[in-house]
Amino acid sequence: MLFAGANVALLYRTFMGRPRDLVRDPDFRAYGAILAVAAVGMTVGAAAAPRSPHGAGGGHLRRRAA
Protein backbone atom coordinates (compact mmCIF):
# COMPACT_ATOMS: atom_id res chain seq x y z
CA MET A 1 0.00 0.00 0.00
CA LEU A 2 2.89 2.33 0.65
CA PHE A 3 4.13 2.09 -2.92
CA ALA A 4 0.64 2.49 -4.40
CA GLY A 5 0.69 6.19 -3.60
CA ALA A 6 4.16 6.80 -5.04
CA ASN A 7 5.05 8.33 -8.38
CA VAL A 8 5.31 5.66 -11.10
CA ALA A 9 8.47 7.17 -12.61
CA LEU A 10 10.06 7.23 -9.16
CA LEU A 11 9.17 3.58 -8.61
CA TYR A 12 10.59 2.67 -12.00
CA ARG A 13 13.92 4.29 -11.14
CA THR A 14 13.89 2.56 -7.75
CA PHE A 15 13.33 -0.90 -9.23
CA MET A 16 15.91 -0.29 -11.94
CA GLY A 17 18.66 -0.04 -9.36
CA ARG A 18 18.46 3.50 -7.99
CA PRO A 19 16.71 3.10 -4.62
CA ARG A 20 18.23 6.31 -3.26
CA ASP A 21 15.95 8.29 -5.57
CA LEU A 22 12.99 7.10 -3.52
CA VAL A 23 14.48 8.26 -0.23
CA ARG A 24 15.67 11.58 -1.63
CA ASP A 25 12.32 12.55 -3.14
CA PRO A 26 10.67 15.19 -0.91
CA ASP A 27 7.14 14.23 -1.98
CA PHE A 28 7.67 10.59 -1.05
CA ARG A 29 9.23 11.55 2.27
CA ALA A 30 6.24 13.76 3.07
CA TYR A 31 3.88 10.96 2.03
CA GLY A 32 5.72 8.50 4.29
CA ALA A 33 5.69 10.94 7.19
CA ILE A 34 1.94 11.50 6.85
CA LEU A 35 1.34 7.74 6.81
CA ALA A 36 3.58 7.25 9.86
CA VAL A 37 1.82 9.98 11.85
CA ALA A 38 -1.58 8.57 10.90
CA ALA A 39 -0.54 5.05 11.93
CA VAL A 40 0.75 6.26 15.29
CA GLY A 41 -2.40 8.32 15.83
CA MET A 42 -4.68 5.39 15.11
CA THR A 43 -2.66 3.11 17.37
CA VAL A 44 -2.78 5.58 20.25
CA GLY A 45 -6.49 6.16 19.66
CA ALA A 46 -7.22 2.45 19.67
CA ALA A 47 -5.17 1.91 22.81
CA ALA A 48 -6.90 4.78 24.61
CA ALA A 49 -10.44 3.77 23.60
CA PRO A 50 -12.66 2.47 26.37
CA ARG A 51 -13.06 -1.28 26.41
CA SER A 52 -16.44 -2.86 25.91
CA PRO A 53 -17.58 -5.10 28.77
CA HIS A 54 -18.63 -7.62 26.13
CA GLY A 55 -15.24 -7.79 24.43
CA ALA A 56 -13.91 -6.14 21.32
CA GLY A 57 -15.04 -6.76 17.79
CA GLY A 58 -18.77 -7.24 18.32
CA GLY A 59 -18.47 -10.93 19.14
CA HIS A 60 -21.37 -10.62 21.55
CA LEU A 61 -23.60 -9.57 18.64
CA ARG A 62 -22.76 -12.69 16.68
CA ARG A 63 -23.48 -14.91 19.68
CA ARG A 64 -26.90 -13.34 20.22
CA ALA A 65 -27.84 -13.64 16.56
CA ALA A 66 -27.18 -17.38 16.43
Write the pLDDT tens digit of every residue in 5-55. 888 998 899 999 998 988 899 999 999 999 999 999 999 888 887 766 655
- Rounded CA separation 36/30 (Å): 10
Residue 38 has what pLDDT? 95
- Rounded CA separation 42/12 (Å): 31
Q: What is the pTM of this model?
A: 0.64
Contact 4, 24 (CB under 8 A): no
Residue 57 has what pLDDT? 56
- Rounded CA separation 6/19 (Å): 13
CB-hemisphere CA count at 13 Å for 35?
A: 12
